[in-house]
A = this chain, B = another copy of it.
Amino acid sequence: MSLLETNLKYNVNQTIFVAVDCAIFGFDSKSLKLLLFKRKVEPLKGHWSLIGAFIQDDLSIDEGAKQVLLESTGLSGIYLNQLKTYGNKDRDPGARVISVGYYSLIPVGEHEISEVEEYDAKWFELNELPELILDHRQMVDDAIDAIRTNARSKPIGFNLLPPKFTLPMLQTLYESIFQRTFDQRNFRKKILGMGILDKTNEKDKSTSKKGAFLYSFNKEAYDDKTYETFI
């Protein structure tokens, strides 16, 4: 359908562009991090920003977000969730642009660290974020809020962990998300009581001499139950 046709059909005269921006969070067994990029276009070229791009006409916005992620990080098949849409009139000095915000959760291994930095990207600790362009700081804050809210009722945390992980890792992750500590015994009791983790016989010895048992997330068991409060 051509622009002319659509314009006639709906009698609209808009000059608004539609972009997506994605806040990519990663966990490396120690802390929650945010992936930022050096902006490549004017205005504000060279400043730190979330990864974003204009939507192509032939992609849904969800597909657009996926593609942005793939093109700018090489990552695909990862957790990606719509956050909210930012539409203040003057939010972008370059044009009238509304941006559909997304957030993405990924485990950060050695691979992801090096891989991603080939794209002019860098992982930042959440409490050491540089200044961000436009309303991207707001997006990040909103995303953290959304992750917290979401993490209470759904096991989204598992998207930040490798397929096999230890309970201490899981606890550290939730402590990073909620910025508080959890009692070790209560935490394990609660998580294991849900019956959604499968224990393996393997141990991870990278963080202690004793080693911690590796577990995997049992999605079927979770789907059967759908908890209302998770943590």
Chain A interface (Cβ < 8 Å from any Cβ of B): 1-3, 5-6, 9-10, 12, 14-18, 41-43, 54-64, 82, 84-85, 87-89, 94-98, 100
Task: Determine the distance from Cα of A59 to Cα of B10 in the docked complex, in whole angstroms.
Answer: 19
Q: Which residues of B sit under 8 angstroms from A95, Cβ to Cβ? A: 1, 5-6, 9-10, 12
Contacts of A10 in B (CB 8 A): 17, 41, 54, 94-95, 97
A-B contact pairs, 16 of them (CB 8 A): A1-B95, A2-B15, A9-B94, A9-B95, A12-B95, A14-B18, A14-B57, A18-B98, A59-B89, A60-B87, A61-B85, A64-B87, A82-B84, A82-B85, A84-B85, A98-B100
Q: What chain B residues lie within 8 Å of A2 (beta carbons)?
A: 15
Report copies per complex: 2
CB atoms of B1 and A54 under 8 A apart: no
Q: Which residues of B contact A54 (CB under 8 A)?
A: 10, 12, 14
CA distance A100 to B18 in the complex (A): 12
Which A-B residue pairs are the 4 nearest by beta carbons?
A61-B87, A6-B95, A3-B15, A85-B85
Cβ-defined contact, B6 with A17, below 8 A = yes
